[in-house]
Structure 1
Amino acid sequence: MTVRTDAAAIGQRLQQLRRERGLTQRALAGDGYTAAYVSTLEAGRVRPSETALRYLAERLGVTQDELATGRPAQLATELRLALTEAQALLAAGRPGPAGDGFAAVLERAEREEVAAVRPAALLGLGECALESGRLEQAREHFEAAEQLLADQPLPQRAAAVRGRAVAYLLSGELRYSCYLLETAIDQLNAAGLPDPDALLLLYAAVIGPYMDMGAHTRAAQAAELALALAPTATDPALVAGLHRSVARTLIAAGRIAEADASLARAQQLYQRLRLSSDLAKCHWMRGYVHSQAGQLAEAERELRTAREMLAVQQAELFTHQVDVELADVLRRRGRHQEAGRLLHALLDRLGPHRGAVHAAGAHRLLGLIADEQGAPEDAEEHYVRALSLLEQTGAAGDLADLCRLLGDLYRRTGRTDLALDVYRTGLGHRAAPGTTTLGPGPAQPPGGLTD
């Protein structure tokens, strides 16, 4: 339904409201206008001026917008309340019902032409799609939100940019994810708009693709800048997300105890805020920390907790990512059959355009299991499949590691020339750590946030 604001529609509303209140045309006109003018308006022959609209709305006890558009005065408030309820469902790890809530808000906002709440509803739908692993839909929702906010300052568009970048990251397009985030960070800093929440959101988001691309130095720099911004941020959920992202850089630097402490702080904030989806991801990351430290029983416990929480929340793609980590722990604990079943099951649900990095991780682990069980041909097949998937994503660190594994396999089976070729390929991926689509890393915010 299109909201009508033409003279005829306003005249009909004016007449209806006057009659509902038992007023004559002369009584409604009062001292400001004449009964004849009110009659002309009700007949739809002219459209009232803004001054007349305001005057007549006051006489009728409604808002000017309600008289001009027919929208109930409380509509915007009702829609914002519905948005809040949908956001609470999403925070509680219920993306299905949350998505229904956001969709209902968007449909009514479009029908009633309440533009102000449409971007927030689209952002919510995008986040629900991310949680459920529907990456193409997520991108579409974030792009639509960006289009609606096109004339707004960049800080107001940061959440949509970040959402689109995460969707590309999860689908294996690491370089484009970096490009989106780096461009937004540079534009935000160059414009002299160092909004702390927007910058924190973008710096925390760029850590993930940097780490997956093997750009550990850049990830650490982004983490330092984000930590410097944290005291000025107004959203505690952002700060919690920062600690979770920073933990990845600490793990890469071998600072396991500090990483675990950072995750513990994030976990406390998520528990306080009742953000169960993010809390599940904290358990996942702590499982990874324990795994890196060789504490395999603790790692398995944390990862299984994360997996159960994410499965209940129907966060399918994130559940698959935890499966890769859990399978690695099971392999290292000598439970090869259990790990293999888990990996084969998730490969049926992943592919080149949906979790390519994690599908590659699954093939890598299946290759290791085959290698450890004395099946070099099966190991080679899985390693080659993993390489094919990773070459599409630019995940340099993982590519170098796979080249080492495949080169070792070729060398052990007497294929020295092939081994040398693969080793050289791996060294090529290691030769340019930190390279991204744009070349130089994003500039630091003005004002010297770090020393």
Structure 2
Amino acid sequence: MAGTSSRTAGGPEREVADGTPGRPDRGQGEGQDSPAVIGRRVKRLRKEHELTQRQLAEPVYTAAYVSTLEAGKVRPSEAALRHIAERLGVAYEELATGKPTHLVTALRLRLADAQRVLATEDAVDAQAAYELILGEAEEYGLTQERAAALVGLGECAMEMGELTESLARFEAAEQALADEPLPARARAVRGRAVAHYLAGELRYSCYLLESAIDGLNTSGLHDPGALLQLYTASIAPYMDMGAHARAAQAAELALALVPQVSDPALVATMHRTVARTLIAEGKVEAAQTSLARATELYQQLQIRTELAHCHWMRGYVCAQHDDLAQAEAELRTARSMLVSKRAALYVSQVEVELADVLRRREKPAEAAELLESLLVGLQPGRGAVHAGGAHRLLGLIAEEGGDLEAAERHYVTALSLLEQTGAAGDLADICRLLGDLMRREGRTEAALNVYRTGLGHRAEPGTTTLGPAPARPPFAPWT
């Protein structure tokens, strides 16, 4: 009977109660183009247009055929669907697939707008926009748009410091794109790797990135944009693990890819990240040039989070060269920009750098207060490397103030955090500080054990427990 529900083999028929046009009518286990779903869709649209089965069918088909079609007992031909679509005044594609006309285009425009909101405004607002897009993409079975929304949600969660949520979103995006070529999954892979890196899981981050790079290079899928994302993302974990040679190679390859990449945001991120390897190599002028180029591009794109990262990096460069006043100014600018974006995890990381500058500027009380406050948001799993750095600084402040017991406590905590991450350089440094403290107190054997631990992490400078380096692409700039 019209207006009532009946059951089919595919699941319960779903009548649209709210009158919203274009919604899918599928039951459990039914595809958008199954006869039962198409039949219910035709029936719903016919009733919305107040047509009888005979009016819909004539002059080409019969009322009996429309009745059979609406019952899901026959798969309509393309010709039949085109006739019915014309009678209903809807697009053939909408009738055949359930997707409203221009839906994909509209969703992609909204995805671009959500990405703009994330870049220039607030991650919370961007998250809300992505959630709405995700719901519609799932409703209409749009895999590409669903995956893009999941990646966007992962990036929002990462900016807000919710790394567990971020990882779940990136993993879901990868699963959604499991049947797509690897380049289509690069952004999700990169996001998941960065989230693991921020959580202090450096080796696993490198493993994810290297596996994807190998997959692209050995399969002949030399997508420049995908490779640039992956090589750029690998630099930070390589540097923190002490794998400086690999970081330099990744930077060299990233630079070689730039002429083939049209996305200015990817190019800007590459320049900002490569600056870190240039600083490590003592190429300060080149690093400043790279940061200036990144800043210029981010200003043009109005990407506030990444622009804050440029100020952050400039502050680091100034601190390395004892220009502490300028370093403090740059880091405070970065912190202010990130606070306005509510980028909690990044705020805490900048505060570690700022606290070090304040300590060196003989403002230990202000530095300690900042560090104690930020550690609340840097629990294990939310930035172990930077939490270790915060405890290291608190240890230095305590030691410089004569509180050796507190200093040792902070050094031991830092060592425990850093051992989980494999950050070789930081581990060696904290072992040296702790060993020196113990030696000054006359605890020679304990100091030796700590020194041995540090030496174990630095036995072969520039190496890690990682496997072979990724395969080099055919355009590699070295021989």
TM-score, structure 1 as length reference: 0.94
* Contact map agreement 1:93 1:277 (CA 8 A) in 2: no
* Contact map agreement 2:98 2:140 (CA 8 A) in 1: no
Per mean C-alpha deviation after superposition, the further-off stretch among 148-157 and 32-41 is 32-41
C-alpha separation in 1, matches of 2:67 and 2:395: 84
* Contact map agreement 2:428 2:455 (CA 8 A) in 1: yes
Determine the structure 2 residue equivalent to 1:156.
184
C-alpha separation in 2, matches of 1:145 and 1:323: 32
Determine the structure 1 residue equivalent to 2:410.
382
236, 245, 262: which one pairs with 1:217?
Answer: 245
Per mean C-alpha deviation after superposition, the further-off stretch among 89-98 and 110-119 is 110-119
Decide whether aligned partners of structure 1 residues 412 and 86 sit closer, same or farther in structure 2, where only a CA change above 3 A counts: same
Which structure has the higher relative contact order (CA within 8 Å, separation 6+)?
1
Provide the alpha-carbon RMSD of the alignment: 2.2
Quote how far apart the aligned CAs of 1:88 are: 1.0
Q: Which whole-Å deviations, capped at 9, do the CAs of 1:383-409 have from their partners, x for residues lacking one?
A: 111111111111000011111112222
What letter is aligned with 2:232?
Answer: A
Decide whether aligned partners of structure 1 residues 434 and 55 sit closer, same or farther in structure 2, where only a CA change above 3 A counts: farther
C-alpha separation in 2, matches of 1:17 and 1:177: 50
Count of residue pairs the alignment pairs up: 451
C-alpha separation in 2, matches of 1:67 and 1:436: 57
* Contact map agreement 1:356 1:393 (CA 8 A) in 2: yes
Determine the structure 2 residue equivalent to 1:120.
148
C-alpha separation in 2, matches of 1:390 and 1:23: 71
1:68 is the counterpart of 2:90: no
1:167 is the counterpart of 2:189: no
C-alpha separation in 2, matches of 1:160 and 1:83: 15
C-alpha separation in 2, matches of 1:296 and 1:264: 20
1:3 is the counterpart of 2:25: yes
C-alpha separation in 2, matches of 1:191 and 1:127: 28
Determine the structure 2 residue equivalent to 1:147.
175
C-alpha separation in 1, matches of 2:145 and 2:365: 51
Per mean C-alpha deviation after superposition, the further-off stretch among 332-341 and 409-418 is 409-418
Q: Which whole-Å deviations, capped at 9, do the CAs of 1:146-198 have from their partners, x for residues lacking one?
A: 00000111100011111111111111111111111111111110101110000
310, 320, 338: which one pairs with 2:338?
Answer: 310
Per mean C-alpha deviation after superposition, the further-off stretch among 38-47 and 302-311 is 38-47
* Contact map agreement 1:204 1:222 (CA 8 A) in 2: yes
Determine the structure 1 residue equivalent to 2:18.
none
Decide whether aligned partners of structure 1 residues 382 and 45 sit closer, same or farther in structure 2, where only a CA change above 3 A counts: closer
* Contact map agreement 2:119 2:304 (CA 8 A) in 1: yes
C-alpha separation in 2, matches of 1:392 and 1:24: 70
* Contact map agreement 2:253 2:476 (CA 8 A) in 1: no
Per mean C-alpha deviation after superposition, the further-off stretch among 311-320 and 438-447 is 438-447
SS at match of 1:294: coil
* Contact map agreement 1:225 1:450 (CA 8 A) in 2: no
Decide whether aligned partners of structure 1 residues 16 and 150 sit closer, same or farther in structure 2, where only a CA change above 3 A counts: closer
* Contact map agreement 1:357 1:390 (CA 8 A) in 2: yes
C-alpha separation in 1, matches of 2:71 and 2:366: 78
Q: Which runs of at least 4 in structure 1 moved beyond 3 Å after TM superposition?
A: 5-45, 58-61, 433-438, 447-451
Determine the structure 1 residue equivalent to 2:80.
52
Quote how far apart the aligned CAs of 1:338 are: 0.5
What letter is aligned with 2:268?
Answer: A
Structure 2: gaps spanning 5 or more residues: 1-13, 15-23, 27-31
Quote how far apart the aligned CAs of 1:228 are: 0.5
C-alpha separation in 1, matches of 2:36 and 2:187: 41
Determine the structure 2 residue equivalent to 1:429.
457
Matches within 5 A, 1:197-236: 197-236=225-264
Decide whether aligned partners of structure 1 residues 40 and 314 sit closer, same or farther in structure 2, where only a CA change above 3 A counts: same
Determine the structure 1 residue equivalent to 2:217.
189
What letter is aligned with 1:259?
Answer: A
* Contact map agreement 1:411 1:419 (CA 8 A) in 2: yes
Matches within 5 A, 1:90-109: 90-109=118-137
Determine the structure 2 residue equivalent to 1:446.
474
Decide whether aligned partners of structure 1 residues 174 and 277 sit closer, same or farther in structure 2, where only a CA change above 3 A counts: same
C-alpha separation in 1, matches of 2:118 and 2:59: 53
TM-score, structure 2 as length reference: 0.88
What letter is aligned with 2:25?
Answer: V
Q: Which whole-Å deviations, capped at 9, do the CAs of 1:187-230 have from their partners, x for residues lacking one?
A: 11010111000000000000010011111111111100110111
1:321 is the counterpart of 2:349: yes
SS at match of 1:179: helix
Decide whether aligned partners of structure 1 residues 70 and 348 sit closer, same or farther in structure 2, where only a CA change above 3 A counts: closer
What letter is aligned with 2:95?
Answer: L
Per mean C-alpha deviation after superposition, the further-off stretch among 399-408 and 125-134 is 399-408
Determine the structure 2 residue equivalent to 1:137.
165
C-alpha separation in 1, matches of 2:334 and 2:297: 17
C-alpha separation in 2, matches of 1:218 and 1:61: 60
Quote how far apart the aligned CAs of 1:366 are: 1.0
